[in-house]
Structure 1
Amino acid sequence: MPQPEQQEEFVRDKLNPGALEAELKYMADAEVRFDSASRALYASDASNYRQIPIGVVIPKSREAVLKTLEICHRHGAPVVSRGGGTGLCGQTCNVAVVIDHSKYLNRILEIDPEQRYARVEPGTILDHLRDQTEHFHLTFGPDPATHNHNTFGGMIGNNSCGVHSVMAGRTVDNILELEVVTYDGIRMTVGPTSEAELERIISEGGRRGEIYRGLREIRDRYADAIRKRYPQIPRRVSGYNLNELLPEKGFNVAHALVGTEGTCVTILEAKVRLVHSPPARSILLLGYPDVFSAGDHVPEILKFKPVGLEGVDDLLVKFIRKKGLHPEDTELLPEGKGWLIAEFGGDTKEESDQNAQKAMDALKKVKSPPSMKLFTDPAEEKRVWEMREQGLGATANVPGVPLSWPGWEDAAVSPERVGDYLREFRKLLDQHGLIAALYGHFGDGCIHCRITFDLFTKQGLENFRSFLEGATDLVVKYGGSFSAEHGDGQSKAIFLGKMYGEDLLEAFRTFKSLWDPQWKMNPGKVVDPYQPEQNLRFGPDYNPWQADTHFRFLDDHGNFSMATLRCVGVGTCRRTHDAFMCPSFLATREELHTTRGRAHLLFEMFRGDFVKDGWHSKEVLQALEFCLSCKGCKGECPVNVDMATYKAEFLSHYYRHRIRPFAAYSMGLIGIWGRVGAKMPGLANFFAQTPVLKHLLRGVGGITQKRELPVFAQETFTDWYRRSGKWSDTADVVLYPDIFNDSFYPEVLHAALEVLERFGYRVTVPETPPPAVRPPMDFGMLDYAKARLMEAVGILSPYVRRGLPVVILEPSTAAVFRDELPNLFPQHQDGERVTKLTFLLGEFILREKLPPPKLAGSALLQSHCHQKAVLDGEAPRTLLTAMGLSVSEPQKGCCGMAGSFGFESGKYEISMKIAETALLPAVRQAPPATYIVADGFSCRTQISDGCHRKALHSAELLQLAFAAAKGGPP
């Protein structure tokens, strides 16, 4: 049994990675990547651990998986399978060949609603199956918080659970069969095995017979110890499922392999059980004096058979409010400092409401009843779950609180003992000077928490290890399990002897050896594992490079390298439907194009021992190439990673003293060329529209030949305004003439002026046309961008010093003033005034409580991504609804144009693929009478290019409504 360090020594001294890579590329139908960027991408997961892999293989078929294993076996290379990469215990990173199943092996092969089963490939995302099976009121019961992007392979590897395991059990309880392959290429389908079938398999001999013979010997030798030592609780996940080999369990080999974390076999296909999904749900919220009392009451609530029973403590609620993560949701909570969320199901809403009401009526009669609120409105129920699911985001990067980490995040005890366990656990945290909010699946006795471990100093690691010793002792005292849905990996596996005893640890070793005699499958995890202090991303030797930066990173201690630690690796950016981030991942399904992937590469850049070129890193540049700077991550990432800012900062240094791509000069400096072109629109349009000249112009400017360049207006709004004699020093609102609307769509500014005047405002426009501040920012031309930003602030200073609001029509421009400005110039007083007093037109109307004119009909809305991410994302829909329109918003995320992104050479295809996700098909299908509404210049351009249909700015829509009403508001 080679130790993990011996495996690493073999890889370092004896393996020829070049020969391995060459053979994989030649023989396997797969994407084979041994480059430094790919290896760095897969070096970390959602855990505290980091191990640089040998290489990455992305197989396109199950035959490619078999060939990959055959070649790795021939070379002696260890392997580790990976799906969503959301492991919290280090099980999906290793010094091995990473096999990523998620990109291609993600098909749902069959759904049989009559027999209630489905067949899936290992890379299938859980919600993709659940969305289809809900049509039959069926579901796959376990539903971890990562249900919208995790994969079945990972769920089976970890034996995942989730909120509704109270109703349906763990993953192991919902697996019917597995098709697997061993490291040495033995492919088989496994499941429950009768004694007669077991005898037949053994008698047939061969490698399969040898495995089954050994499994039978484990059963016969260790049956009594298994029955005695395995915790009899709902959420026992730690260790191997040797109990599934017992006669009373039907010698279920598939179940025995669930939870082995890739240490025994590779999964090719799974046949999974589907259970009834009550179509109607109702929520009963229960408040208690503290979370311990809430834990005490779990058995009482379970008597009423809820389909979900979650717990939340007051510290989590405090963190949600402190971080501004939908703090309004916490107002739904009844009185208390600890809460239970009991969800009841039914075939009708009436039935689910009645089930919840029965529980509520009964609980009123108990001694010291909890405070209670019953929710029957689906919108409010959604808000309750939204609050619960903020657990990860709320407990990571809390201002004023040390950074928190996984490491002891999913222990479980019997539901009857939750309260007492939590009391002792809180004492243990206090003894070690640690902070953790407590929440989780209380109905199954599972407690979640991220803990403020110090993983950077020698003393901190000693305290970490001491805490783990105490925590494991405490769980054993309560007859619990170290892991209840995330697995053991290497963070907890070293302590398994406390739970099972040395004899069963030997049984685990024997079990692994049967399947993996060479110990090449995910070595160092679960059995004979690394120590929990090994392979940490940090540790006492972690000393990231400290760089001078333009942005101040105030929420990250003024440090870019600290900002890269924001990403906790949970992979929300890998969502594939109803997702804001990350648009480029939605188009390519590449880890390189996730927010997580980019953050991990930036982390590696600052760490500097693998990605070593600092600001000149080609790996980081490659990852940022297709970042649209949409800021979706800042708005949707649970820890608000701001990749647009990171990209701008990196590009500013990467191209220092270097020639930039042509697009940076043609479109990043549009503020110059736009003003020049606007002065001579006839000549500019001649060059931009004449066949030979326009091709030359695009080529020189790094612009795709597949786009038409926008046409300059014959007269800018600012020229008209100056000529009109409208300028006044007694105005009460300022209209900001951004370069895009001023030069190309002045009718939008005309409309906004009319609308504001209809509302009774005296409007003025700055005498000096302001510069373009967004384009140079997106290209990382930060010295120039900062100068233009200060110029714009100077232009607005006379107005904001008087407290005048500034109405901006282009969301990307408003976002610069509201988001980038305070990050670049945090102490600038006029800058602070500009930040506070700039509004989009819709925001201003809602802020002033102005009654918008009515307009009948329907509207298809595409909000600009910066509106949704860093401005008031609800304002556009709220305004249109207040006008009386029926509103649909088909695409949650970016339209794909993203400023100049869709114009750049080499990016057109991705831009259009993003737009075709939902937006352009919806526009094409919209009836002619439907208003297409988009405030962003880039959004309107994308819609026009993709559908040849005009989109209106909300200012133009309001102008239409006023015209239809033949008058202004009373």
Structure 2
Amino acid sequence: MTAVAPPEPASPEPSAAPPAGAPGTYVDRNTVDESSRVALGRSIAAKIDGVVAFDDATRAVYATDSSNYRQIPLGVVFPRSARDVQTVVTECAAVGAAVLGRGAGTGLAGQTVNVGVVLDFSRFMNAILDIDPARRVARVQPGLVLDDLRAAAEEFGLTFGPDPATHAWCTLGGMIGNNSCGTHALYAGKTVDNVRRLRIVTASGADFWVGRYDDAGYAEVIAEAGSESDSSGGELARLLGGARELGRRYAELVTERFPDIPRRVSGYNLDQVLPGRPADLARLLVGSESTLALVVEAELDLAPSPAQRHLVVLGYDDIFLAADAVPSLVAFGLLGLEGMDQTLIDQSAAIGLNTEGIALLPPGHGWLLAEIGDDDPDVAERRVTEFIAGLPAGVAAKRISDPVEVKQIWSVRESGLAATARPPGRPPNHEGWEDAAVPPDRLGEYLRRITALWAEYGYSGAWYGHFGQGCVHTRNPFDFHSAEGLRAYRSFIERAADVVAELGGSVSGEHGDGQARGELLGRMFGPEIIEAFRSLKSLFDPAGMLNPGKLVDPFPLDTNLKHGPTHHVSALGKLTIHALPRDNGSIVEAAERCVGVGRCRRDDLGVMCPSYRATRDERHSTRGRAKALQEMFAGEISAESWRNDDVHDALSLCLACKGCAVDCPTGVDMATYKSEFNAHYYSGRLRPRHMFALGLLPWASRLAAKIPAVANRVLAMPALSSLVRRTAGVTTSRPAPRFAGKSFRATVRRDVRRGKTDGAPPTTTGRPSVVLWPDTFTDVFDPQLGSDTLAALQLAGESVHVPTEWACCGRTLYDPGMLSLARTSLRKVLDIVDPFTSQGIPVVVPEPSCLAAFRDELPQLLPDDPRAARLAGLARSLAEHLVVTGVLDPRSPDQPDGAAPEPVLVHPHCHGRATVGIGFDRDALTALGYPAAVADAGCCGLAGSFGFAAETSALGRQIGEQQWLPKLRAQAQTAGAGRIAMDGFSCLTQYTQLSEATESDPVTVAALIRAGLQRRGSIQ
């Protein structure tokens, strides 16, 4: 017998809008006092399998996201299951605490911060549960990173279509919360268009799946609501019935006022429950930003991924003309059509970001990136030809075919947000008006009108984004620090919103509403639709506990600001030891470089951030550490003191690899910040034993080098060696490095005594052409590296001077913050080399970490010593020196006589990568006839003292074994490389100690260059 559906339930009465807060103030709706907060954390921890972190250190890290807003959470929970989420919601409801879900924490509208309990799904609930290639469906957990799903789906020729610029670290749950889009939403649609079903936990604690329901499906839900097997207690029936009633009541207004554009992301998706078609509760919830329910599982549609993709870059006289061309180009049927202007290019170039991609752009001052594809190579090729042939005269078109160059071009576009955040010599740019969308045929008009509005307010910005769908991003130099600046900000935002509404657009086309745009929805939809939104919120969340103050009844857009007029400016920034020239000498400004982009959370490419990759703990990401520092300087939840233990703990697992100095698009340099912090933290107090043992290693090694046999014998005696190392706080889990029988300096001195001129001082040999610096690691542990470097320079025709007077760059002193001794040591280095550098003579340094000390730490620690700048400008690696001087030219590689050298995979040392780059080693080897590729395997995990200190050795080994070595092996196999080349004491030690017996030992780049030059000499 078929059940008869009861009458639709009446919609709940909307709640009253809360009073607005004063501009620049902090506003929250928290009713949980401190004792209740602590009790709540304990209660949750006793009942779930996940991790509960209600400590101040974690709360500080989660107080901000990538938006302008800051709200300190009650605590953070890392759930392992839907049951954990149910428990958290139930416990929070009992005490009136708010709850919100969070993925990668990259929200730009403030939707992922709140005064409540944050559920971070990215740590544990991040699995692909199923992929059904026949149905083109994937079932995933909300913490899964988008690119992990895409990589798995590509095996079946499928993909998840929406792909924001953060695709390498954003999570599917976050994308569902925001209704994310990205480049390929042009052909695959927004996230809402690709969601099939969602498993949710509601504000009542119920857990069930929601999807699409026609009338028969609704009747079935009603029938099941009364059955004993219905575990949701009729919750689904109540929500579905209430949503259908809202759709019926507001159908005419929704049809009239919802913009019919590709990128309407703002507001709730009431268009999914209109009468006359099935009600889709799953798609209704997409874009609701945790304000209606918490997603714990998702069933997603996958789209075919064209096997052949081609990129055509179009250059226009300005970005407005580029925007005018969009409608005709989209009509061709593109996979993606992105745009960017001259300002973005200028600001990227000013910070040295994506220079390779910028160099590939065709002439113009505004560019469109058109992607064309098909599974059939011939069809794809024909379509590219037709596309270019159909372009109007005057458009500069450039086809990019090389996969590396294609990636470089896309990187220019994808780095837009970070590239424009802190332009050198200009005020920082902020989000706030960064993702409005208009009908594509009115895009040119929109850009012109907003640019004119900028001029009225004295603002400026770059334009970049998804031109094919009329959604364009920008960041502007809003003044949040003064009351006058806030008034101007609000006035501008309101007028800009009116422009968008007039053009039939959406105030958010990708990033969501949150707090930044929730207030503006009335200008876009009108008061009646706002009442509908409020009614929907009350239907799903009667007590208002789910992410309150976001999207519906929002906090005012000019409150809860990170840097509002009441923002505390810490005096600690005036005590900086490092020069920090990019940040006006302030460690406070340096820490604020982090704007929360979250690129440090990716683990597919680059170095940043090895400790996060291993721990999955936000506190141990570059962003987490920067936020910990920011909160220390704010002095509210974290002590405004250099003796801050929370910050010390956050920095303790930083490897000081300098990966962030290169990979972070805003230039955060956590290695320097850690050194600065430790200098203050340990000032006037005793450091841990391992800091002395490893920090003073160069001085101890100098003594050991005089009696290497005795030193090695002591270190080889198990009992004695273990006792010595345990006493010093050094790990016993890895072998101690062996001292060479004769140091490099000793060898040079011996040769001088025997009458050889190699390495003799200039008073004996005349003016040298280059100085070879015998760094500590090369000198006492790997003198062969010094010999190979010396021989290579001599084969290149150089007159080489090797200083035999001892001094050290102080590399081991920076991480523990022993900066006074480091300065003394650096001055000694300058005393030795300045007679040469003052004459413009270059200094070649074999060890990359010591070279980095000369280029980076030296001018930072001795900014007033002109000798420091001279050495920093003349210090080079061997490969760099030979390429710069023209001895080796990759454009004219050697043609080997006979068998060609076997392919080589070059693994760049982290510090070398940060200060010299990855190109010189490859170019030098290529010039000598070696088929050379550069590895992208990340940090080795040893990082000098990090891998030898007892407290961090295990993590260093984990990074090496689980991440670095597997990638290195896989890339060597892909490149067909018979040898792996690497420089640096840490990398060579880690590889030697962790690699399998069947693997060949790595070779240094210097040894390959020496062999190549010898081969060249024999041929000549």
1:775 to 806, 812, 819: 812
Distance 1:891 1:313, change over 3 A: closer
Q: Bigger CA drift: 885-894 or 662-671?
A: 885-894
| Residue 96 (structure 1) shift | 0.3
* Secondary structure, counterpart of 2:134 in structure 1: coil
Tell me which residue corresponds to 2:45.
25
- Shift in Å, 1:292: 1.1
**CA separation of 1:12 and 1:2: change in aligned 2, threshold 3 A:** farther
Q: Deviations over 1:502-549 (max 9, x none)?
A: 111111111111111111000000000000111111111112212311
| Cα drift, residue 616 of structure 1 | 0.6
Deviation for aligned residue 1:663: 1.3
For 1:347 and 1:656, the matched residues in 2 are separated by 63
The answer for the alignment partner of 1:818 in structure 2 is 855
Whether 2:71 is the aligned partner of 1:51: answer: yes
1:850 is matched with which residue: 879, 882, 887?
887
Q: Please point out which of 894, 899, 912 is paired with 1:867.
A: 912
Task: Identify the match of residue 413 of structure 1 among 426, 429, 438.
Answer: 438
Match of 2:230 in 1: none
The 5-angstrom pairing of residues 777-926 of structure 1 reads: 777-851=814-888, 856-921=901-966
Residues 771, 792 of structure 1: 8 Å contact kept = yes
Q: Does residue 632 of the first structure (1) align with residue 683 of the second (2)?
A: no
Show CA shifts across 1:327-386 (max 9, x none): 34223222222221111112144432321221221123xxx5422222233333222212
Tell me, in whole angstroms, the C-alpha distance in 2 between the residues paired with 1:761 and 1:599: 45
SS of the equivalent of 1:136 reads coil
Question: Where does residue 401 of structure 2 map in the other structure?
Answer: 376
Per the TM alignment, residue 876 of structure 1 is displaced from its structure 2 partner at its CA by 2.0
1:890 is displaced (CA, Å) by: 4.8
C-alpha contact 2:86 2:206 (8 A) present in aligned 1: no
Distance in 1 between residues matched to 2:341 and 2:980, nearest whole Å: 45
Q: Could you list the per-position Cα deviations for residues 143-162 of structure 1 after superposition, in whole angstroms to 9, with x for gaps in the alignment?
A: 00000000000000000000
Q: 1:402 to 1:719 in 2, by over 3 A?
A: same
Partner of 2:267: 239
State whether structure 2 residue 781 is matched by structure 1 residue 744.
yes
The equivalences for 1:18-417 within 5 A come to 18-202=38-222, 204=225, 206-364=234-392, 369-417=394-442
Contact 1:758 1:968 (C-alpha < 8 Å) held by counterparts: no
Partner amino acid for 1:701? Answer: A
Moved more, 115-124 or 56-65: 56-65
Q: Find the residue that maps to 2:314 and give its secondary structure.
A: strand
Secondary structure in 1 aligned to 2:532? helix
Give the 3 Å change call, closer, same or farther, for CA 397–249 of structure 1 in structure 2: farther
Relative distance call for 1:446 and 1:849 in structure 2 (3 A) is: same
2:588 corresponds to: 561
Between 155-164 and 923-932, the greater mean CA deviation after superposition: 923-932
Partner of 1:619: 646
> Do the aligned partners of residues 561 and 4 (structure 1) sit closer, same or farther apart at CA in structure 2, a change above 3 Å counting?
farther
Which residue of the partner structure matches residue 684 of structure 1? 711
Report if aligned partners of 1:15, 1:77 keep a CA contact under 8 Å in 2: no
Q: Secondary structure at the match of 1:269?
A: strand
In 2, are the aligned partners of 1:83 and 1:123 still within 8 Å (CA)? Answer: yes
Residues 902/3 of structure 1: CA separation in 2 closer, same or farther (3 Å cut): farther
Identify if the C-alpha distance between structure 1 residues 644 and 593 changes in structure 2 by more than 3 Å, giving closer, same or farther. Answer: same
Give the AA of the match of 1:568. Answer: V
Give the deviation of 1:10 after TM superposition.
4.7
Q: Which amino acid aligns with 1:746?
A: P
Of 601, 607, 628, the residue aligned with 1:574 is 601
State the one-letter code of the partner of 1:432.
Y
2:502 to 471, 477, 498: 477
AA aligned to 1:55 is: G
CA 1:757–1:599: 2 relative to 1, 3 Å:
same
The alpha-carbon distance between structure 1 residues 875 and 327, as it changes in their structure 2 partners (threshold 3 A), is same
Does 1:710 find its partner at 2:758?
no
Cα shift at 1:568: 1.0
Residues 599, 5 of structure 1: alpha-carbon distance in 2 compared, 3 angstrom cutoff: farther
Q: In the comparison of the two structures, how many residue pairs are matched?
A: 966
SS across alignment from 1:679 = coil
Which amino acid counterpart does residue 994 of structure 2 have in structure 1? G
Contact 1:15 1:75 in 2 (8 A): no
Separation (CA, whole Å) in 1 of partners of 2:208 and 2:906:
51
Q: Note the alpha carbon deviations across 1:908-939, whole angstroms, 9 max, x for none.
A: 22111211244434677879993232110010
CA distance 1:92–1:617, shift in 2 (3 Å): same
> Counterparts of 1:333 and 1:934 in 2: how far apart (Å)?
33
Contact 2:136–2:303 (CA under 8 A) maintained in structure 1: yes
Post-superposition Cα deviations, 1:285-331, rounded to whole Å, max 9, x if no partner, equal 22222111111111111111111111111111111222221234223
- After TM superposition, the structure 1 stretch with the greater mean CA deviation from structure 2, 161-170 or 924-933, is 924-933
Which stretch of the first structure deviates more once superposed, 152-161 or 656-665? 656-665
Distance change (3 Å), C-alpha of 1:11 and 1:752: same
**Greater mean alpha carbon deviation, residues 277-286 or residues 896-905:** 277-286
- Among 671, 674, 698, which residue is 2:701 paired with? 674
Q: Quickly say closer, same or farther: Cα 1:402–1:57, change in 2 above 3 A.
A: same
Residue 155 of structure 2 aligns to a residue whose secondary structure is helix
Using the TM superposition, give the Cα deviation of residue 249 of structure 1 relative to its aligned residue in structure 2, in angstroms.
Answer: 4.9
What do residues 804-835 of structure 1 show as CA deviations (whole Å, max 9, x unaligned)? 11110000010111112222233432111111
| DSSP-derived class of the 2:473 partner | coil
> Cα distance, 1:9 vs. partner?
5.4
Contact kept in structure 1, 2:796 and 2:1013, CA below 8 Å: no
1:922–1:187 CA distance, 2 compared to 1 (3 A): closer
In structure 2, the partner of 1:452 is 477
* Distance in 2 (alpha carbons) for counterparts of 1:398 and 1:249: 50
**CA distance 1:837–1:14, shift in 2 (3 Å):** closer
Give distance in 2, aligned partners of 1:390 and 1:860. Answer: 28
Indicate conservation of the 8 Å contact 2:847/2:983, yes or no.
Answer: yes
Give yes or no for contact 2:918–2:934 (8 Å, CA) kept in 1.
no
TM-score of the superposed pair, with normalisation by structure 1: 0.97
Return 5+ residue gaps in structure 1 as ranges.
Answer: none
Q: What is the letter of the counterpart of residue 97 of structure 2?
A: A
Q: 2:37 is matched by which residue type in structure 1?
A: P
8 Å CA contact retained: 2:937, 2:968? no
The offset of 1:891, in angstroms, is 4.4
Task: Kindly state the Cα deviation for residue 768 of structure 1 after the two structures are TM-superposed.
Answer: 0.9
Displacement of 1:193 in angstroms is 0.6
Specify the code of the residue in structure 1 equivalent to 2:605. D
Q: Would the alpha carbon gap of residues 918 and 960 (structure 1) be closer, same or farther in structure 2, given more than 3 Å must change?
A: farther
Q: Is the 8 A contact 1:59 1:65 kept in 2?
A: yes
Distance 1:651 1:879 in 2: 38
Amino acid at match of 1:956: A
TM-score by length of 2: 0.92
Q: Is the alpha carbon distance of 1:433 and 1:420 closer, same or farther for their aligned partners in structure 2, counting shifts above 3 Å?
A: same
Q: How does 1:525-564 map to 2 (within 5 A)?
A: 525-547=550-572, 548-564=575-591
Of stretches 845-854 and 280-289 in structure 1, the one that deviates more from structure 2 is 845-854
Q: Residue 518 of structure 1 aligns with which residue? A: 543
1:11 match: secondary structure = coil
Contact 1:346–1:352, Cα closer than 8 Å, also in 2: yes
Give the stretch that moved more between structures: 944-953 or 174-183.
Answer: 944-953
What amino acid is the match of 2:367? W
For 1:603, the equivalent position in structure 2 comes to 630
Distance, in Å, in 2 between the alignment partners of 1:163 and 1:922 is 28
Whole-angstrom distance in 2 between the partners of 1:83 and 1:332 = 35
Q: Which AA in structure 2 matches 1:480?
A: G
